[in-house]
Amino acid sequence: MKRQVLLVVNPTREEARSGALSLAQQLKGRDISVFQALSTEGDHIAGIPVRENSVSINEFELVIVLGGDGTMLRSAEMVRSSNVPLLGVNLGHVGFLAEIEKNSLDEIADQVAAKNFTVESRMVLSFAHFFKASITSKLCCSLNALKTSGLLSVSVATPLFTSNKIVS
């Protein structure tokens, strides 16, 4: 079976788009098939085939993310129920989750081709919101961030429990 890598790219960043094209060419030159995931806006990069929805994420040996922490979080959600690892290339400002810098794309291609990488496990947080003893919503959030949306977003201090013991 031919090796396959999926690229997840922040399409709003030109450096992510150009980096994805460069990395895709390098991986193809090493006999690794490269596909891209459609962005949330439906954008794609010409020259890199788009992953069909019918193709399981488990068909890929690795997902390479070019963007910032937001792109990493979206990608983590994509692979959450699989064993496919993420490799984050930081193109954002902070880079807590994507630790590799873009200037190492040549080395990334070499290391992926040689299968010379290790996988670090990361925590996934899931939670349920209770109101009057009923669950009103559930969320499984990847890695270390929660995102709220709506007209009003506020910080909420809540106790954290594990095994019915308060942690924080």
**Block residue for tokens 């809540």:** 158
What tens digit of pLDDT does each residue of 60-93 get? 999 999 988 788 888 888 888 888 998 888 876 6
pLDDT of residue 147: 39
Label the pairing between strands 62-67 and 86-90: parallel
> CA dist 9 to 54, 69, 72, 157, 166, Å?
20, 12, 9, 33, 39
- 166 or 5: whose pLDDT is higher? 5
pLDDT of residue 125: 65
Query: How far is residue 109's CA from residue 114's CA, in Å, rounded to a whole number?
Result: 9
Active site residues: 69
Neighbour tally for 30: CB within 10 Å: 12
Q: Which domains does the chain have, with CATH numbers?
A: 4-113 (3.40.50.10330), 124-166 (no CATH)
Mean pLDDT of 153-161: 53
Mean pLDDT of 29-34: 95
Question: Partners of 2 in the beta sheet?
Answer: none
Model pTM? 0.74
Please state the φ and ψ torsions of residue 153, each to the nearest 5 degrees: -115, 130
Length of the chain: 168
